Structures are given as structure tokens and as C-alpha cells.
A and B are shown apart, each in its own frame.
Chain A
């Protein structure tokens, strides 16, 4: 892995030096059809009841391309928690080891049949598909997207447009092995299957839903059903997603978890936007229940550069916090 990391970083350095095409921030560097490179980073400032801290959080490099008209690939290496400084107690931490965030190939056979194999983002909902800070409109993620289903899949995803439809896409995915590089896996598992559908009703509006089942390393079997909708024009964006999960545990009664959020964003210029989000989370098994309201501000001097600030009000008051972040995709 270290060898891959060094090679990739060296390659990116060489490409930035030699490439003659005008570079556009946020679009990566296209060397040829078979090699495009890019990356991203994010930094966060957090202030809560316990501490004030700074984190250089995600540092990632990625490469992708088309090997031929039918086969393409993507590889991404990421270091999470690259540097962390707690101003309250003066402690510092650093995790500079890069891990395989995504490594997959795509075998395209038709618009209705594409096979993605390898470690990939689980094709569920909206939030989960754009997980990095710079693409989000708030620094924080809803708990919905982090705690109730595996964010990554190491397996197969058969996907494409449903034939004879204008904009209905399907994903039939499965994993029957351990995750590739479990370092940043939110729910390590060796059994994960699901079906997701998305209907693009218009350029602005779409809706989606999914069902799935996974078994964790601790033999927790969870089945879930999820649904969401998204509206996005040049000024307004509305996003809502919800999920119900039923979990069974060895020698314990089954429990339920409910989670959902609704988010509204108003862009009063291309660069400036205000965001609010209401979220509900209730996991009976962990006995964790919270209602969260977020008010945030987003400034993008250029789209791939994101400066964001937000304040979170929690029903569990000691969780209230302020977050600020700077993130860049290059």
C-alpha cells in the first residue's frame, strides 16, 4: 500500500508539472482517456461544551479513467484525521497513513447493464453518494448517513437504466466477504445485499428508495428500508431522506431504529447560500435519541472551494456545537 501511495503521489506531481492543457480547479487533470487525477482535502474547526479543536481531516488523492470503451476504473487513497489539535488540553494527534477509500472497476455493457466491482460507495440515497466535505452544503453529516447502513461496499453492483423508462436507474448490489481495508468502514460486515431505485422525474426533481440487509461482525442482522427525494434548481434545494431499520441480535430481542432529515438551502447568489436542516434519530438498541436543528452558511468563491459555518442545536443540549470548515477539490 505504501508503494502505491508513493507512486500515485509522484505521478500526480509529474502530471501537474508536465501537463500543458489549462487546468480548471475541481475538474482534476486529464492526462488522457485512461488517466485523470485529482484529490481533495478538508479542515474543520469545532467548538462545543467540552473543547475547541482543529482538524485537517480528509486528505485524498484519486485517479480514474477509461481503459477501453467498455472498462473503466477509479482508485482513491485517503488519510482521515491527518492532523488534529485540541486547543482546550493542548493535545495533538496525527494519522498520516493513507488507506484505500475506493478501488473499483466498471464493466459497461449497455446503458441498462453496468457492473461495478471492488470497494465502492454504497449506492443508497443522496447524501451517501456525495460524502466529502467540499461537495456537501454543511460541514456535518446527518446521523442517518453514518450510523444505520454501511457507507461502503466491497462487492458487486449491477446498475443501469431500467429499459423502456426515461430516467429510472437501478442498483442491485451485494457483498459476501470482508471489506477491503476496514480502516474507515462505519459498519464492518461480511454480508450486505440491497436494491436501490432512483427516478429522475425532471432535471430538478428526483426521488429514490432502497431496501437492504447486512450482518455485522458481531452477528447483528439488520434489514432496512430507505426513501428520499431531492429538488434542486438554481436557487433552491430541498432534500429529505428517511430510514427504518430492524435489527436482530444473538440472544436479544429485536429492536428498531428510525432516522430522517429534511434540509432546505437558498442560494441568494452563486457563491452564497443559507442552509437549515432538521434531523431526527432514534436507535432503540443503543438507546440514543436526538433531535437536531442546524442553521448554516456556505460560501463558495469557486464551486470546488467551500467555506462553511454552522451551529447545531441538539435535544441533548450538551451536544450543541459550532463547526467551521474549509475544503477544496482539485
Chain B
């Protein structure tokens, strides 16, 4: 039994979720679907339940942002760029950006409705994890 548990733990460490999508603890929402998150970060929808949501992106091309775009949005950089160019003509802007995971976490802690992604190791009891990838 022990070797199996060690194997499963190693598998979890190797293949488990690297990043968590976090929201304020005050929000009653506990889980969301990938499609809901995708629609929020593509600015197609603006609410979860009755709460107005503020999506936060990490600035630049950090690994977590690339991972989020591929795993959750399901779009590579070129496709996402084409999407936002078209949205620019429609009068829609991408989500606001933050300079670091720390600032995303601080924003989420202080602003009800803010949603962002951080490394799972940063997701402590001060925020609520609603999705992992």
C-alpha cells in the first residue's frame, strides 16, 4: 500500500494542478466551469450569479498566463490576438493586467468580484479557489 501512496503523491506533484483561479472569500460562488471562466476572461459575460466580475490577467507572457490561455481559454497567442483585434473594433477591451501574482492575489483579497490566477502554492485561506488547472 505504501509504495502506491508514494506513487500517487508523486503523480499528483508531477501532474497535479499548477495554478489556481481565485476569488474573494466573501463571494458565495464555490465552483465554476471552464466555460464560465473562459467567457469572463473573453469579456463575453460579466457576472457569476448576481456578482459583477473583474477578471485580472498577468502582464506580459509569463508561463502562468500562457498556461491559462492554453488550458482554460483554449486559445494560443495568435488566435487570442486575432480575437482581441476584432473586439477592439467592437469597442471591447481585454481584462486589466497586474504586474505579479502577488498583486493579483492582493487585488482579489480586497476587491469583491475580482478573479485571477496564481500558482497553487500561493492559494491560501485568505482567498477562495474556484478552479484549478
By a beta-carbon cutoff of 8 Å, the part of chain A in contact with chain B is 26-28, 30, 36, 38, 40, 62, 64, 69, 72-74, 108, 110-111, 129-130, 132, 135, 161, 166-167, 203, 234, 270, 303-304, 329
Contact B86 A111 (CB under 8 A): no
Query: Which chain B residues (60-74) contact chain A, with CB distance < 8 Å?
Result: 74
Contact A329 B88 (CB under 8 A): yes
Kindly provide the distance from the CB of B15 to the nearest chain A CB, expressed in whole angstroms.
24
Contacts of A64 in B (CB 8 A): 91
Contact B45 A111 (CB under 8 A): yes
Kindly provide the distance from the CB of A200 to the nearest chain B CB, expressed in whole angstroms.
9
**Selected contact of B93 from candidates A30, A40, A110, A166, CB within 8 Å:** A30
**Selected contact of B88 from candidates A38, A111, A166, A203, CB within 8 Å:** A38
Interface residues on B, range: 20 to 34
Contact B78 A36 (CB under 8 A): no
By a beta-carbon cutoff of 8 Å, the part of chain B in contact with chain A is 35, 38, 45-47, 52, 74-76, 78-79, 81-82, 84-86, 88-91, 93-94
Contacts of B38 in A (CB 8 A): 203
Contact A270 B78 (CB under 8 A): yes
Q: Which chain B residue shows the least CB distance to A60?
A: B89
Kindly provide the distance from the CB of A100 to the nearest chain B CB, expressed in whole angstroms.
15
Kindly provide the distance from the CB of B71 to the nearest chain A CB, expressed in whole angstroms.
13
Q: Which chain B residue shows the least CB distance to A70?
A: B52
Q: Given A110-B47, A203-B74, are A234 and B35 also a contact pair (CB < 8 Å)? A: no
Contact A304 B46 (CB under 8 A): no
Kindly provide the distance from the CB of B67 to the nearest chain A CB, expressed in whole angstroms.
18
Can you show 13 pairs from A to B with CB atoms below 8 A apart?
A27-B88, A38-B88, A38-B89, A62-B91, A69-B52, A110-B47, A111-B45, A111-B47, A129-B90, A130-B86, A135-B89, A234-B78, A303-B82
Contacts of B81 in A (CB 8 A): 26, 303
